[in-house]
Chains A and B, each alone.
Chain A
Amino acid sequence: MINYFPEEVLWHVFSFLTSHPDRNAASLVCKSWYNVERFSRGKVFIGNCYAISPERMISRFPRVRSLTLKGKPHFADFNLIPQDWGGNVYPWIVAMAKGSTNLEELRLKRMVVSDESLELLAKSFPNFKSLVLVSCEGFTTDGLAAIASNCRFLRELDLQENEVEDRRGQWLSCFPDSCTSLSSLNFACLKGEVNVAALERLVARCRNLRSLRLNHAVPPDALQKILAQAPQLVDLGADSFVHDPESETYNKLKNVMQKCSSIRSLSGFLDVNARCLPSIYPICINLTSLNLSYAPGIYSKELVKLIHKCKKLQRLWILDTIGDKGLGVVASTCKELQELRVFPSDLHVVGNVAVTEEGLVAISAGCPNLNSLLYFCQQMTNAALITVAKNCPNFIRFRLCTLNPTIPDAVTMQPLDEGFGAIVQSCKGLKRLSVSGLLTDQVFLYIGMYAEQLEMLSIAFAGDSDKGMLYVLNGCKKLKKLEIRDSPFGNMALLADTGKYETMRSLWMSSCGVTFGGCKTLAEKMPRLNVEIINEGDEMEGRPDDRQKVEKMYLYRTLVGPRKDAPDFVWTL
Chain B
Amino acid sequence: MEGYSRKDMGCPQLLDLIPKEREWLVKSAQETNHGLPEEKKLELRLGPPGGDWTIKQVNGPKNESLLPFGHFTKAAAAAAATTPWQHQTKASFFPLMGKESSQTCRTVELQGAEKKVFSPANTAVPNSSSAQKRTAPAPVVGWPPIRSFRKNLANGNSFKLSSGSQNVVPNKDFGKKHIENCPKSKFVKINMDGVPIGRKVDLKAYKSYEKLSSAVDELFRGLIAAQSDSSTNGIKNEVEGEKLISGLLDGSGEYTLVYEDNEGDRMLVGDVPWDMFVSTAKRLRVLKSSELPTLSCGSKPGKLSLDHSMK
Contact = CB atoms under 8 A, between A and B. Distances in A.
Interface in A442-491: 442, 445-446, 448-450, 458, 460, 464-465, 470-471, 474-475, 485-488, 490
B46 A440 contact: no
Interface in A361-377: 376
B170 to A, nearest CB: 12
Contact of A475 (B20, B58, B151, B155): B58
Given A448-B58, A551-B6, A78 B142 contact: yes
Contact of B165 (A163, A513, A536): A163
B85 A413 contact: yes
Across the A-B interface, give the 6 residue pairs with the lowest CB-CB distance, nearest first.
A78-B142, A513-B18, A488-B17, A82-B179, A410-B124, A352-B131
Interface string B94-118: 1011110000001000000000001
Nearest to A408: B120
B159 A412 contact: no
A83 B20 CA distance: 32
14 contacts: A79-B142, A80-B142, A163-B164, A348-B155, A352-B131, A356-B128, A378-B131, A382-B44, A383-B72, A410-B124, A440-B96, A486-B15, A536-B179, A537-B177
B153 A345 contact: yes
Nearest to B11: A549
Interface stretch (B76-84, B198-206, B232-240): B76-84
Contacts of B146: 78, 343-344, 376
Given A383-B70, A412-B80, A539 B136 contact: no
Interface stretch (A53-61, A179-187, A303-311, A399-407): A399-407
Nearest to A137: B181
A465 B143 contact: no
Chain A contact-residue range equals 35 or more
Contacts of B12: 511, 549
A210 to B, nearest CB: 24
Interface residues of B, number: 85
A538 interface: yes
Given A79-B142, A440-B98, A536-B178, A347 B155 contact: yes
Contacts of B219: none
A406 B69 contact: no
B171 to A, nearest CB: 10
Given A78-B146, A412-B80, A421 B97 contact: no
B128 A357 contact: yes
A408 B251 CA distance: 50
Nearest to A445: B53
Given A296-B153, A386-B69, A445 B58 contact: yes
Contacts, number: 232
B142 to A, nearest CB: 4
Contacts of A358: 128
A77 B147 contact: yes
Contacts of A405: 118, 140, 143-144
A346 interface: yes
Given A418-B45, A536-B179, A464 B106 contact: yes
B159 A404 contact: no
Nearest to A324: B131
Interface of B: 1, 4, 6-7, 10-12, 15, 17-20, 24, 43-46, 53, 55, 58, 62, 67, 69-70, 72, 76-77, 80-81, 83, 85, 94, 96-99, 106, 118, 120, 122-124, 126, 128, 131-137, 139-151, 153-156, 158-160, 163-165, 167, 169, 176-182, 184, 273
Given A347-B136, A390-B69, A536-B177, A356 B159 contact: no
Interface in A527-552: 536-539, 545, 547-549, 551
B10 A545 contact: yes
A245 B95 CA distance: 56
B135 A163 contact: no
Secondary structure class of chain A's binding surface, majority of residues: loop
Contacts of A381: 128
A490 B16 CA distance: 12
A344 B149 CA distance: 12
Contacts of A299: none
A45 interface: no
A446 B106 CA distance: 20
A350 B17 contact: no
B1 A376 contact: no
Given A79-B169, A465-B19, A470-B55, A216 B160 contact: yes
Given A216-B159, A414-B97, A538-B177, A485 B83 contact: no
User: Which of B72, B135, B143, B149 has the most chain A CB within a 10 Å cutoff?
Assistant: B143
A51 B287 CA distance: 55
Contacts of B135: 350
A411 interface: yes
